Structure 1
Amino acid sequence: MSIKAIALDIDGTLTNDEKRITPRTKEALLAAARAGITLILASGRPAHGLRALAHELELDRYHGMLVAYNGSQVRDATSGELLFNQAIPVEEARAVLEHLRGFDVIPMLVDADRLYIEDAYRCTIYHKGAPKNIVKYERDACGLRIHEVHSLLDWCITPQNKILTAGTDTYLSEHHEAMAAPFVDKLSCMFTADFYFEFTAQGIDKARALSVALPERGIDPSELVAFGDGQNDIPMLRLAGVGVAMANATDEVKNAADMVTLSNNEDGIAAALEELVR
């Protein structure tokens, strides 16, 4: 195939378990960029949370793209130009926040570089039996500033690119269907990790964003290689000419992919590109 673009999920895919891009993977991606292949970061993170990794991979120099908020926003990595944006309307966002009050989850909203929460001291969930400060985790991963408000519902007066909820993995597994039930015909509802369940505008996912943004660069989805490990990556893997699942991906993701590579801790991206880009 002729490869013109590479789309990369971040957590569990591009970065290892220490949240770093390994040297081998970084060099493989920079070599692709130098050869004229467009690099795309495609993540549930807000745009601000993509900037450090985008700079590390020189997306600003090589005219890459940032697919943020699970695909509800796309920006040009060089100019910052907004290429696509579809947020949750205010009334629907407020309805979600009202509904979530009946569940043991921690809702979060993002605006630019700020992470909005209701209680900075209610920040602990349990992941695989161990306590996890989820507010600190999200703040650190995306380089955000914490902003505490009395009520997210009262604060929510503008459209939202996504509504993030965090919860203990076993609790979310048992309750996510009830959390999503009133909105299944109105919004996209998905896991981005087993401790994150998110809401975006209807029909929004990484594939939808790429199907709009790629043609603007003269790139057909058949010329795209996409890498991922999570449920929210499945539409993107299916859209791409070659969808690549990481070895650490769930079986559902592996079944949706065209090939499976090594894990995020074993330079799986570099190993696959060595096969595909010759």
Structure 2
Amino acid sequence: MSQIKMIIMDVDGTMVNSDKVITPKTKEALLKAQASGVRLVIASGRPTSGIRKFADELDLAENHGLLVSYNGSKVYDCTSKEVIYNQAIKVNQAKRVLEHMKKFNVYPMVDRHGYMNVLDAYAPQIHMNVGDDRMIDIMKYEIRGGNFLICEHRDLAEYVDFEPNKILTAGEPEYLEKVFEEMQAPFKDELNCMFTAPFFFEFTPKGVDKAKALRSICELTNIDESEVIAFGDANNDLTMIEAAGIGVAMSNASPLVLEAADYITLSNDEDGIAHALAKFM
């Protein structure tokens, strides 16, 4: 087995627990690995602003850590404070997606310059999953999680005159399962279209994913993919799990991720990352 030189990990459902915090045991394990020279990379579907607080907590700026945001669309160097990779959706594509979303009972969101741009800042709460009675205030969840201010627009398709890194849509999980194929149909050959949570379906540039971001980081750092351990739980983590030398699924992961993983660790509420690092490092 190759020596592990890099740890790349998803955030929600992986690095943080259900309360959205890094537990002391997981933090200790990551800081210990970093102190031994292992490079830490946080890779999330969240915007960069939504994961910077975790970078601060793990001292990434002092240790050449990296942030992969928007499911691989952007890579940020915490030490140099430079964007080292960025691939966005073209303006005409974004306008077409947002126009098409008007046909569906979903809540589209596009961020820019610290604002999350939406149609309805007071969108009703939605269920967290099919058959789950728990409800979530989707606007508060995304705005607070991404550290955004919120801005309403009457027409997002008309508003967008820039290249966004992603277009996020939220909706009832049961409804999204029924309509997602129709939502993605006009764009599936030119954009990545995927679930990132039962209540989130999003669009990102074609060919962009966490594995592509990982490959660009490995080239930059002269670290081979075989020397990387990756942690994830959702389908947007799948390519990263497959690309890394050791792909680790949290026990709460989706069936596809569980099947693809080299190892299944404990859940994100049971310090799964710390458990796996104790085994492999």
Give the TM-score normalised by structure 1: 0.97
1:117–1:148 Cα contact (<8 Å) kept: yes
The residue number in structure 2 matching 1:269 is: 273
The residue number in structure 1 matching 2:61 is: 60
- Number of equivalenced pairs: 277
Q: Give unpaired runs (5+ residues) of structure 1.
A: none
**What RMSD, in angstroms, separates the aligned Cα atoms of the two structures?**
1.0
2:122–2:139 Cα contact (<8 Å) kept: no
The residue number in structure 2 matching 1:184 is: 188
The residue number in structure 1 matching 2:32 is: 31
Distance 1:164 1:210 in 2: 22
2:123–2:138 Cα contact (<8 Å) kept: no
| Deviation (angstroms), 1:126 | 2.2
The residue number in structure 2 matching 1:228 is: 232
Residues 16-41 of structure 1, C-alpha deviation per residue, up to 9 Å, x if partnerless?
A: 00001000000000011111111000
Which moves more between the two structures, 221-230 or 121-130? 121-130
Distance 2:127 2:269 in 1: 23
* Matched ranges for 1:1-278 at <5 A: 1-127=2-128, 128-277=132-281
Distance 2:54 2:134 in 1: 28
Give the TM-score normalised by structure 2: 0.96
Q: Give unpaired runs (5+ residues) of structure 2.
A: none
**Aligned-partner SS, 1:26:** helix
Which moves more between the two structures, 197-206 or 149-158? 149-158
Residues 14-67 of structure 1, C-alpha deviation per residue, up to 9 Å, x if partnerless?
A: 000000100000000001111111100000000111110110011111110000
| Deviation (angstroms), 1:123 | 4.1
Distance 1:220 1:34 in 2: 20
Distance 1:26 1:80 in 2: 23
2:193–2:202 Cα contact (<8 Å) kept: yes
Distance 2:133 2:269 in 1: 22
